[in-house]
Amino acid sequence: MENPPDAQYMLDHTSSHGFWTGSSTERLPIERAVTEVAEKFASLKFSN
């Protein structure tokens, strides 16, 4: 489960009363955000 739509799908298609997640629920969104910011920094150019 990587995102809210994944969780909603599980809730809609099972008889569960909730869900228990692992570190990926916290880690993956942070990794995406850090990667996006790092790419923006990497694309900076010197103004010579």
43-to-3, 12, 29, 33 alpha-carbon distances in Å? 28, 42, 21, 16
Is pTM beyond 0.75? Reply is: no
Per-residue pLDDT at 1: 80
Nearest by Cα to 3 from 19, 17, 20, 24 = 24
- The string of pLDDT tens digits covering residues 1-48 is 888 898 899 899 999 888 888 888 889 889 999 999 999 999 999 998
Question: Which residue shows structure tokens 């996006």?
Answer: 36
End-to-end CA distance of the chain: 47
